[in-house]
Amino acid sequence: MRASRYHLFTLKENPVDAEIISHQLMLRSGMIRRHAAGIYSWLPLGLRVLRKVEQIIREEMDRAGALELLMPSFQPAELWQESGRWDQFGPELLRLTDRHNRDACIGPTHEEIVTDIFRREVNSYRQLPLNFYQIQTKFRDEIRPRFGVMRSREFIMKDAYSFDIDKDGMQHSYDVMDQAYIAIFDRFGLEYRAVNADSGAIGGSTSQEFHVLADSGEDAIAFSSEGQFAANIETVEALPPTGERAAPGATMQSVDTPGMHSIEALASGLKVAPQKCLKTLIVDADDDGLIALILRGDHELNTLKAERLDGVASPLRMAQRDKIKQVLGNDIGSIGPVGLTIKRYVDHSAAAMSDFVCGANQDDKHLQNVNWGRDCDEAVSVDLRNIIDGDPSPDGKGQLRILRGIEVGHIFQLGQKYSESMQSSVLDMQGKTVAPFMGCYGIGVTRIVAAAIEQNHDDRGIIWPAALAPFMLAICPINYHKSAAVKEAADDLYQRCRAQGVNVLLDDRALRPGVMFSDMDLIGVPHRIVLSDRGLGAQQFEYKGRSDQDAQDMPFDNLTSLIDKLVCDPCDTVS
RNA sequence: CGGGGUGUAGCGCAGCCUGGUAGCGCAACUGCUUUGGGAGCAGUGGGUCGGGAGUUCGAAUCUCUCCACCCCGACCA
């Protein structure tokens, strides 16, 4: 591709509403443009990357035996009513009516459609196992779209659906997809992790998420330092502390703590560690009452765990401030277990504390040297908190380490949920009617692009892994429009690369070198060759890898071996 | 949906308080000079100041209203 004939429209300044790096760089490099909240066009440069992601997915899905098809994004309400999801889904499901006033929706996912296809097409176990997949545009009317294509309303997803005659078959199909996902993510050249996504309570490894690692990731994932354990942090059990609780020391006493309403304020005000403080959160109960959740000061409440507790409202709601005052008689910021009248749950770690600081249930007062059993009722403890770095791993092997990730893939077993509700069945070997066991496997295609940038960039711009780069090589001739020698050498090299199948961008624009370099760095081309009169005279060219610190001069003889290394798919067929 | 904020040229902003008919930087276009890390000079084009209504001789500016977008909280690829 010649840059003069390509739509390279880069921006120097960051659009003000782009918050995260990937969104900024995608806008600045001219990959995407926004039309409305969460709605984007993919410009030619961005589309090149998107197509690479799709192609890798397609090849590995095909290799794994899945069959590609394409389902509609406009879906009739009847199917969703059959599965029951027409009523279950909230406003995230974009509903509309056509000219005949028939209800429909724009598909956020395709279990209903694929099950409908299956029940029409398949009627014998002999046709199984079967795995249909598609790469298609989805729509989810997100409450708050943000971060560019990371969380957009319209997005492209690869979704696959497996069908098997029994549970073992489903497990096998799932395992095949697990392997296919590993192959896919390996090929992207991104750092990623597969983690358990199910709650330990349900058991089994029936659900896994694939995360691209990035400091800016929205999810926290935990790993065992020595074992294989890896899971989304929200699902990880926090083990109770081992060993005996320390014996009570000094007697309980009240202290004035005006204005200290947070653990940080309390800890610094009283000069004690947050670990010695107790945090008491008040949430709504499912019967209109209030429930206290008690944690160690430095710990965070885990919403999922709290919602599972008997009596706690689900979804979890923090109680209204006025209601707390009305029931407890004091404001938040000074609540504690001593004399607390409402139902309470205490986290294991909080229950293991002694001589701690907690709210006195009186405004602007706290209690010191409080002890369970002695000063208030002995706590029955439960698991309430998020694990933190250094906690013991639930598999008993080492400690937990925490990394941040971006969820880009999810595989799980659906069982017979849709086949039963939608009365899809096949005949088994005995001629009996059986609802097939399904699995469901998603990859956020558009999100992968953003995640790749989030993980690989510097202050100059994007640093694409080779597998995703829109161009593999940039040729930057200096004085292309002035020096006949440079022009000839650049054109020669360009033609040679194209003949060899190198995905090459020749910057033949009449620009100053600095501008060319900045553009190529910004759009993240992995390799760069500079040709100039100076180098030509010495039979040399200059080479620099995108993440190399410095460029190096090389003799022309090295060109052939360099080009050989850059050969990839011949997708650049337009001059 | 609740709370906070912003809408002025493609992008980033000033002007608004104190009404007098719109400006700066970048980008774009033309010419000359320049050519190894976002050049210099000269010139050009582009805005119903988010929409509507009102107050006024006169509204980007004051009032009302609608809309859009962004940020902080509950979903998910």
Confidence of residue A192 (pLDDT cuts 50, 70, 90): very high
Residues of chain A above pLDDT 70, percent? 97
At A313 the pLDDT is 80
Mean predicted confidence (pLDDT) in A328-353: 88
Q: CA-to-CA distance for A244 and A94, rounded, in angstroms?
A: 55
**Residue owning tokens 């029951």:** A84
How distant is C1' of B54 from CA of A145, in Å?
Answer: 36
Burial of A315 (0-12, 13-18, 19+ CB in 10 A): exposed
Nucleotide lying nearest to A512, CA to C1' measure: B35
Are A465 and A191 spatial neighbours (Cβ–Cβ below 8 Å)? Answer: no
Measure, in angstroms, how far nucleotide B40 C1' is from residue A482 CA. Answer: 19
- Sign, CA torsion A56/A61/A67/A71: negative
**Domain A253-382, what fold?**
YbaK protein (3.90.960)
Q: Distance from residue A512 (CA) to nucleotide B39 (C1'), in Å?
A: 8
Residues A204-209: contacts with CB within 8 Å, 24+ apart? A206/A174, A206/A412, A206/A413, A207/A410, A207/A411, A207/A412, A207/A413, A208/A178, A208/A410, A208/A411, A208/A412, A209/A407, A209/A409, A209/A410
Cα(A191)–Cα(A179) distance, integer angstroms:
16
Q: Where are the alpha helices (DSSP H) in A132-166?
A: none
B74: residue with closest CA to C1': A315
The structure tokens listed for A299 are: 């710990």
Radius of gyration of chain A (CA): 30
Which nucleotide's C1' is closest to A33 (Cα)? B10
Q: What is the ipTM of this complex?
A: 0.90
| Separation of alpha carbons A449 and A408, rounded Å | 10
Contact status, residue A255 vs residue A367, Cβ threshold 8 Å: yes
Look at residues A105, A156, A119, A108 and name the one whose alpha carbon lies nearest to residue A134. A156
Which nucleotide is closest to A23, CA to C1'? Answer: B70
Q: Which nucleotide is nearest to A209 (CA to C1')?
A: B77
Q: What is the mean pLDDT of residues A294-317?
A: 84
A235 DSSP 8-state letter: G
Closest nucleotide to A158: CA versus each C1': B77
Q: Which nucleotide comes closest to A155 if you measure CA to C1'?
A: B77
Domain ranges of chain A: 42-236+402-453, 253-382, 471-566
Q: Give the pLDDT of residue A531.
A: 97
Q: In which residue are the tokens 């000094």 written?
A: A250
Residue A462 phi, psi dihedral angles, 5° rounding = -80, 150
CA of A16 to C1' of B62 (A): 29
Instruction: Using pLDDT thresholds of 50, 70 and 90, give the confidence band for residue A173.
Output: very high
CB A379 within 8 A of CB A355: no
Predicted local confidence at residue A568, as pLDDT: 65
> Does residue A479 contact residue A509 with C-beta atoms inside 8 Å?
no
Nearest to A299 by CA among A238, A366, A379, A380: A238
Q: CA–C1' distance A82–B4 (Å)?
A: 42
**Å: A222 CA to B74 C1':** 23
Could you report the per-residue pLDDT of A422-470, keeping only the tens digit for each?
999 999 999 999 999 999 999 999 999 999 999 999 999 999 999 999 9
A319 vs A134: which has the higher pLDDT: A134
pLDDT tier, A42 (very low <50, low <70, confident <90, very high otherwise): very high
Alpha-helical regions (H) of A84-166: 85-88, 111-121
Dihedral of CA A252/A254/A260/A261: which sign? positive
How far separated are the first and last CA of chain A, in Å rounded? 5
A15 CA, B15 C1': Å apart:
22
Report the pLDDT value the prediction gives residue A236, as an integer from 0 to 100. 87
CATH architecture of residue range(s) A471-566: 3-Layer(aba) Sandwich (3.40)
Distances (CA, A) of A558 to A187, A250, A493, A498, A529: 28, 79, 12, 17, 12
Distance in angstroms, CA of A25 to C1' of B41?
33
Q: Nearest nucleotide by C1' from A91 CA?
A: B75
Q: Is the pLDDT of residue A544 over 60?
A: yes
> How many Å does it take to go from CA A37 to C1' B56?
38
Closest CA to A303 of A313, A291, A311: A313
| Greater pLDDT, A508 or A573 | A508
Q: What is the mean predicted confidence (pLDDT) over A91-111?
A: 91
Nucleotide nearest to A406 (CA to C1'): B77
Specify the amino acid at residue A543.
Y
Q: What is the mean pLDDT of chain A?
A: 90
A95-CA/B12-C1' distance, Å: 38
Total Cβ atoms within 10 A of residue A241: 16
**pLDDT at residue A556, rounded to an integer:** 95
Chain B bases closer than 7 A to any CB of the protein: 1, 11-13, 25-27, 34-39, 68-77
Q: Select the more confidently predicted residue: A556 or A145.
A: A556
CA distance A531 to A485: 10
A534 contacts: CB under 8 Å, gap ≥ 6: none
Q: With bands split at pLDDT 50, 70 and 90, how would you rate the model's confidence at A310? A: confident
Tell me what the mean pLDDT of segment A32-51 comes to: 92
> What average pLDDT score do residues A466-478 get?
96
Percent helix, strand and coil across chain A, each rounded to 5?
30, 30, 40
Nucleotide nearest to A541 (CA to C1'): B36
Nearest nucleotide (CA of A8 to C1'): B27
Q: What are phi and psi of A239, to 5 degrees?
A: -70, 145
| CA-based nearest residue to A545, from A560, A562, A570, A561 | A562
Q: What pLDDT score does A205 carry?
A: 55
Quick one: A82 exposed, middle or buried, by C-beta within 10 A (0-12, 13-18, 19+)? middle
Task: Taking residues A223-245, report their average pLDDT.
Answer: 87
Closest residue (CA to C1') to nucleotide B35 in the complex: A512
* Residue A411, phi then psi, degrees to nearest 5: -125, 135
Please write the tens of the pLDDT for every residue from A377-386.
Answer: 887 789 989 8
Q: Tokens 């708050």 map to which residue?
A: A144
Interatomic separation, CA of residue A217 and C1' of nucleotide B68, rounded (Å): 29
Nearest residue, CA→C1' of B13:
A16
CA of A76 to C1' of B65 (A): 38
Whether CATH 3.30.930.10 fits A42-236+402-453: yes
In the structure, what pLDDT confidence band is assigned to residue A113 with cuts at 50, 70 and 90?
Answer: very high
Q: Distance in angstroms, CA of A472 to C1' of B49?
A: 45
